[in-house]
Amino acid sequence: MSDIKSDIEGLMKSAAEITSSIFDHETHQPFICTHPTFYHEGHFYILSTKIAKQTKYYESGSDLSVIVVGECTVKQNLFSRKRVTILCKPKVLEKEDGLRWLFEKHLGTFASGLMDVTDFKVFALKPIGGLYFRGFGRAFEFTSDSVDVIHLKEPHKPKSGNTMAKILKNSLSKV
């Protein structure tokens, strides 16, 4: 399973953007947004302005779900995309030079410059656990310290002899 852990961490480290989802308890509606990000020492780092609706959720420490989407494991088959959905706990951080340097390194001058804008806050999102999809028919559940196979023993099984059966057989053998 260490190759799965390496895949999960590699996908998180390659993320330039995350999409986060939060349940708004006031409106009883889901809320979704996206942020440029980088993954460093077990956390995703983002900037969010006080003007944006999601910032109040991050400040409150409400759990949120994020998704990182990678490449297709089978050429031109979007169903085979590597992706990880993660439950995260946000934490507000103080702006300091070490963080400024990391934002500059990973996201460029514009992002590090936003640290000087007073309405922007820095957040660390700590992954608690989630699901890693290695491609079509290959799913793994993980926590910060373990990975379990949840969908490997019984891959999708269409009727034999049809076109979908051939496509799936080819697809699953490449994952």
- Tell me what pLDDT residue 171 has: 55
Residue 120 pLDDT level (bands cut at 50, 70, 90): very high
Q: Which residue has the higher pLDDT, 52 or 162?
A: 52
Q: What pTM was estimated for this model as a whole?
A: 0.80
166 vs 144: CA distance, rounded Å: 37
Helix ranges (H only) for the chain are: 2-14, 53-60, 97-107, 109-113, 163-173
98 vs 104: CA distance, rounded Å: 10
- Tell me what pLDDT residue 153 has: 44
State pLDDT tens for residues 54-95.
998 899 888 999 999 876 555 666 666 788 999 999 999 999
Q: Which residue has the higher pLDDT, 161 or 50?
A: 50
Decide: helix, strand or coil at residue 15: coil
55 vs 51: CA distance, rounded Å: 8
Count of structural domains, the chain: 1
What domain range includes position 100?
2-173
Q: What is the CATH number of the domain that holds 128?
A: 2.30.110.10
Contact yes or no for 99/40 (Cβ under 8 A)? no
175 vs 123: CA distance, rounded Å: 35
Whole-number mean pLDDT of the chain? 81
